[in-house]
Amino acid sequence: MKTYICRVCGHIAFDQAPVDCPVCKMPIENFENVPEAIKKPSDPENLTEDDKVHMPVVRISRECHAISHNGCIDVHIKVGAIEHEMTSEHFINFIDIYVDKIYIMRALLTPKRAHPLISLCLNVTSGSLAIISNCNVHGNWITKLKLDET
Ligand SMILES: [Fe+2]
């Protein structure tokens, strides 16, 4: 899977660069194909402390608590299994959400004030969910899951 990164806002696009960045609206010229844009655990069976601190932990609730609608889910995201710090020097900058590789939204977090976690309601019940967390020091980390299996 190819990854393209926006050099203006850090947004990552999968497979191909978009005409305009869906986050900062800058044109395609600002995207660069960066194969190592997302960090991968060297051993997925034995996560290091660095992996555990940065990889988003995702919990899905099929019972939507936001609006009475059958076609949506609650998504709870925390970075990470060991909670990441949120100091001025070292913090989770943003969390980007994708469904079927298509960008849905960004949560921009403020150090010291925000925890590295968000809850949201998505108007989907199937497909693949991908969450990217961006640490200002340690880069981008991803968690993927299939909604059909949750
Ligand atoms: Fe970090």
Per-residue pLDDT of 15-25, as tens digits, reads 999 999 999 99
Name the pLDDT band for 40 (thresholds 50, 70, 90).
Answer: confident
Q: What share of the chain is helix, strand, coil (3-state, %, to 5)?
A: 10, 45, 50
Model pTM above 0.75: yes
Distance 66 CA to ligand 1 centre (A): 31
DSSP H or E segment with residue 67 = none
Q: Judge whether residue 149 has pLDDT over 80.
A: no
CB neighbour list of residue 120: distance below 8 Å, 6 or more residues apart: 74, 75, 77, 97, 105, 107
Over residues 53-89, the pLDDT tens digits come to 999 999 999 876 677 667 789 999 999 999 999 999 9
Distance 52 CA to ligand 1 centre (A): 10
CB neighbour list of residue 123: distance below 8 Å, 6 or more residues apart: 69, 71, 72
Distance 63 CA to ligand 1 centre (A): 32
Q: What local confidence, expressed as pLDDT, does residue 24 receive?
A: 98
- The residues pairing with 78 across neighbouring beta strands, listed in sequence order, are 57, 117
Over residues 109-143, the pLDDT tens digits come to 999 999 999 999 998 989 999 999 999 999 999 99
Average pLDDT over residues 25-44: 95
Q: Judge whether residue 94 has pLDDT over 80.
A: yes
Distance between CA 49 and CA 113 in Å, rounded?
Answer: 24
Closest CA to 23 of 8, 38, 3, 35: 8
Q: Judge whether residue 107 has pLDDT over 70.
A: yes
Distance 58 CA to ligand 1 centre (A): 18
Q: What local confidence, expressed as pLDDT, does residue 68 receive?
A: 65
Distance 64 CA to ligand 1 centre (A): 31
